[in-house]
Structure 1
Amino acid sequence: MRWLAGCSPTILAQAVRAVAPALGGTSIEIRERAVEDDPLWWSSTAVVDGRFIAKFAWSRPAALRLAHEIGVLTALAGEPFLPEVVASSTDPLLLVTRREPGTSLFEIVDSIDRDRAGRQLAAFLARLHDPATRARVETAVGPLAAASAGPQHPPSTQVLLEGLEPDQSGAVSRWCQWADAALARPRPAVVVHADLHGDNQIWAGDELRIVVDFENVSLAEPEYDLRAFPGTGPGVELLTATTRHYERITGRHLSIDRVMAWHLRTVLGDTLWRGGPLPIDDLAARFAELGID
């Protein structure tokens, strides 16, 4: 495996010419990104010829994640809602997919039918969580790691509570105790996307076109993949719609308590990482709407 020497249009153009010669002379627009000290995040994407997305890395840790994504997408080729791979290579390391017109779920969730959206998300998750999917992926890339080993995994409640100011810890401490109890008994693991927030979904109106960013595909319980859904859009409608359709499609029950336990840890972890006030009122409203005391 050979990752790129840096993040520049010239270096990327050389890789594109090597992996997809037909695109070698076209325009390249690298996405603006914050400078990261941690080599794990030394990766980016670029729009090539206005029609394709090139994903690349310039460090070994980031390259391993991208190589994993290439393997997963290759194993799942032909599945619905996945990016169309135009070209891929590990020497040089590059993934080129067809650019799909549309917008992030975050931008349109307030205006679409959440039941219709939930039905489509449930269809994607049902296929991803199917045991046959795990067999296909692990045949291609080897045994999958647990999601808890990945960089997107939310902190433990102990770490969360240690990061709080004393005057913030009252309700949050009780919630964290509840979350630990809700997750105390493990559930069977399935293949999970592990980072299924709104910006990793491309929608055209109320139609889900593709899900992107499969670098974090790993093993966890099904509820893990729904942890970003509460609060995406008005209230918890998207979560309840997705859960209802998922259970109908698969015949498998989803625990709302477990989804919300993962949601709590994710929201608190993101808030402590980014800074700012804890969204106590928003979390309380979501718990109340779901009937969780």
Structure 2
Amino acid sequence: MALTWLGEPTVDVLRAALRAVAPELADGTIVPRGLQASDDPQWCAASAEIDGRFVVKFAWARPPALRIRHQIRLLDTLRPAAPRLPLPTVVAASLDPAMLITRRAAATPFFGVRHLIAPADRPTVADDLAAVLAGLHHRDVLKAVSASMGPLPEPIMPAPTGEIRARLPPLIRSDQRDRVLTWCDRADRVLATSGRTVLVHGDFHGDNHLWDRGSLRLRLVVDWETAGPGEPEFDLRCLPGDCGIELFTATVARYERISGTTLDMNRIMAWHLRTVLGDALWRAEAGVPLPDARTPAQWFDDLDTRLTAGQLWRS
């Protein structure tokens, strides 16, 4: 089937497409998220809620349409390959136009529940995070998915250290600049060799794993459109900042027990550094506020605390 996408980012055009893909939803109440024009075709995509019960992802350019196609195929393959993974329930999927409709879960992104996690809750939360990631990273999962889908695209990488070295220093304080260079040098040394290859989610941050507010159990993992072959440490790179040091280290320990494999903390932190500083860089240059409305220099201070006081760089 030919791959197509919407002609423009408007609710009217989306509703017309729904009449072809899921006509029973076409007259519902549509609440768009991220529905805005972009000069970069890479990011010409958005999602919308329909009647508060469904989520539709769609695109109006080829690159994000390809990612939607990839997610459709991947979800179909992952269900039998990793039946314990908490995957979205697909209601309808289409390539002409590229569109994925899933059932909206009664769950909250991790960022909305992390303040509720008391010390006594950490073992259970760490166990859920570790179980999902260890299950996804099992060697048989990548083997099964590759056999069904063929060669997989690699996940989108965070900014290279060369870009961070060259462009971040003017955006932070003068006393922070030498450490950026030192950190980037160390990240380069750590990542100079390749790790083992598994299937990774590729974007496992706190908006993409959803939790039950009452029980604090993980209910759903969403946004699989950048999943592909990578090293397990890459999938844990957001956890030091999203979870805090105690929950993050508990998750690493539990992952190692469940999987019977060892994670390289230095590799996690090298990917974490590139992700945090790369995100701060592109947002500052694009005039896009950081998610917590702070500055790149403040993000740097948080990262410094995790790397030094948290002793997450290991000798």
- TM-score normalized by structure 1? 0.92
Give the one of 158, 163, 166 matched to 2:162.
158
Which letter does structure 2 place at the counterpart of 1:84?
A: T
**Residue of structure 2 in register with 1:222 after alignment:** 232
Give the one of 241, 258, 262 matched to 1:249.
258
Distance in 2, Cα, partners of 1:81 & 1:195: 15
1:213-255 CA distances to partner (integer Å, 9 max, x unpaired)? Answer: 111111111000010011224x312221211111111100001
Which letter does structure 2 place at the counterpart of 1:262?
A: W
Where in structure 2 are the equivalents of 1:56-71 lying within 5 Å? 56-71=58-73
Distance in 2, Cα, partners of 1:140 & 1:291: 38
Does the residue aligned with 2:266 lie in a helix, a strand or coil? helix
How many Å apart are 1:80 and its aligned residue? 2.5
Task: Quickly say closer, same or farther: Cα 1:291–1:165, change in 2 above 3 A.
Answer: closer
Which letter does structure 2 place at the counterpart of 1:256?
A: M
Where in structure 2 are the equivalents of 1:72-221 lying within 5 Å? 72-77=74-79, 78-112=83-117, 113-147=121-155, 150=156, 153-165=157-169, 167=174, 168-205=176-213, 206-221=216-231
**Residue of structure 2 in register with 1:40 after alignment:** 42
How many Å apart are 1:60 and its aligned residue? 0.8
**Unmatched 5+ stretches in structure 1:** none
Task: Quickly say closer, same or farther: Cα 1:65–1:32, change in 2 above 3 A.
Answer: closer
Which letter does structure 2 place at the counterpart of 1:277?
A: P
Matched, 1:283 2:303: yes
Does the residue aligned with 2:240 lie in a helix, a strand or coil? coil
Task: Quickly say closer, same or farther: Cα 1:92–1:101, change in 2 above 3 A.
Answer: same
Greater CA deviation, 101-110 or 211-220? 101-110
**Residue of structure 1 in register with 2:289 after alignment:** none
Retained in 2: the 8 A contact 1:45–1:55? Answer: yes
Which letter does structure 1 place at the counterpart of 2:161?
A: T
Task: Quickly say closer, same or farther: Cα 1:146–1:31, change in 2 above 3 A.
Answer: closer
**Residue of structure 2 in register with 1:292 after alignment:** 313
Which letter does structure 1 place at the counterpart of 2:18?
A: V
1:144-186 CA distances to partner (integer Å, 9 max, x unpaired)? Answer: 1333xx2xx1122122101133734211111111111222221
Distance in 2, Cα, partners of 1:55 & 1:140: 23
Give the one of 13, 21, 30 matched to 1:11.
13
Task: Quickly say closer, same or farther: Cα 1:94–1:268, change in 2 above 3 A.
Answer: same
Task: Quickly say closer, same or farther: Cα 1:244–1:257, change in 2 above 3 A.
Answer: same
**Unmatched 5+ stretches in structure 2:** 285-294
How many Å apart are 1:187 and its aligned residue? 1.0
Distance in 1, Cα, partners of 2:23 & 2:210: 27
Greater CA deviation, 46-55 or 75-84? 75-84
Aligned residue pair count: 288
Distance in 1, Cα, partners of 2:127 & 2:270: 23
Does the residue aligned with 2:48 lie in a helix, a strand or coil? strand
- TM-score normalized by structure 2? 0.86
Distance in 2, Cα, partners of 1:191 & 1:97: 22
How many Å apart are 1:292 and its aligned residue? 3.0
Greater CA deviation, 194-203 or 16-25? 16-25
Distance in 2, Cα, partners of 1:199 & 1:82: 15
Distance in 2, Cα, partners of 1:7 & 1:171: 42
How many Å apart are 1:34 and its aligned residue? 4.6
How many Å apart are 1:272 and its aligned residue? 1.2
Greater CA deviation, 166-175 or 187-196? 166-175
Task: Quickly say closer, same or farther: Cα 1:114–1:37, change in 2 above 3 A.
Answer: farther
Task: Quickly say closer, same or farther: Cα 1:226–1:72, change in 2 above 3 A.
Answer: same
Distance in 2, Cα, partners of 1:190 & 1:163: 32
Distance in 2, Cα, partners of 1:94 & 1:255: 38
Which letter does structure 1 place at the counterpart of 2:166?
A: E
Matched, 1:238 2:247: yes
How many Å apart are 1:79 and its aligned residue? 4.1
Which letter does structure 1 place at the counterpart of 2:201?
A: H
How many Å apart are 1:62 and its aligned residue? 1.2
Distance in 2, Cα, partners of 1:192 & 1:45: 22
